[in-house]
Amino acid sequence: MAKAQPRRKKSIKRGMDFTGQTCFYDLPDMPTKGITSLTNTKPAIATAVGHGLKTGDVIWVESEESEGINGYYLVDVSNEDTFALMILDGEDIGTITDAKFTTPKRYSFCDATSVKISAFKTKEQDVTTICDDGTVVELIREAGTISLSSLWVPDKPVQEFLEEMAEELETIFMTLKPKGSKTIRGYQVKITSYDWDGKSGDKWQAALELKINGRGRRVKITTGAE
């Protein structure tokens, strides 16, 4: 009687190599391209004839009559004249007629050696009032943080930009796309600390702490928004 062949255990690759593309974005002085309309949908769809964008691009949007929409967005392009603004909820913005956008300058940041992202945090808050029979606790959301370690290269444009933005307390935007992933993640952030250290015979190291402003954005560059 023939012996049964032993079953081979299927090999499963876990995790991904820590490689990818991290970028920071510098805001130009004045948005120049007009947005004809923004839909009251989630996400909001912008109409801008011949916008020239592609899915995964980063833009800055600005409006004087509705400053609440001002900020950085990842875009999910529908066609040559329309695109979705991730994560703008258009259900409550009303009618906006003066919105404009621009494409910021992008700095690739290849010096990163590690990154830790806490996209958001929560904590319990006591909201008990005199009308409650017992303790009432609500879970509230706090701003997330990003910790980034890198090699420090003095006089490199991207690192000069980050140092300037840290000193000016400016809001900037960063994106992260791990190698092999179809999803680009974006975060509007402020730099809360920027440190350098080194020792004899070794490379200079840098450490950045960033505070996330609002929700993160993400978009799939092959199948569209998620």
Question: Alpha-carbon torsion 222, 189, 178, 140, what sign?
Answer: negative
Range 90-119 average pLDDT: 90
Q: Is the pLDDT of residue 200 over 70?
A: yes
For domain 26-105, give the fold.
Answer: Elongation Factor Tu (Ef-tu); domain 3 (2.40.30)
**Same fold? 26-105, 108-220:** yes
Domain limits, the chain: 26-105, 108-220
Which pLDDT band, with edges at 50, 70 and 90, does 103 fall under?
Answer: very high
Q: Is the pLDDT of residue 12 over 70?
A: no
Beta bridge partners of 115: 148
- Maximum average pLDDT range among 11-15, 125-129, 132-136, 207-211: 207-211
Residues 150-173 have pLDDT tens digits of: 999 989 999 999 999 999 999 999
Residues 167-189 have pLDDT tens digits of: 999 999 999 999 888 999 999 99
Q: In angstroms, rounded to a whole number, what is the distance separating the alpha carbons of residues 101 and 32?
A: 6
Tokens 């996400």 belong to which residue? 43
Query: DSSP strand E in 127-181: where?
Result: 137-151, 171-178
For position 119, what pLDDT does the model report?
Answer: 84
Backbone angles phi, psi at 70, to 5 degrees: -65, 130
Quick one: DSSP state of residue 4? P
For domain 108-220, give the fold.
Answer: Elongation Factor Tu (Ef-tu); domain 3 (2.40.30)
Q: Where are the alpha helices (DSSP H) in the chain?
A: 157-168
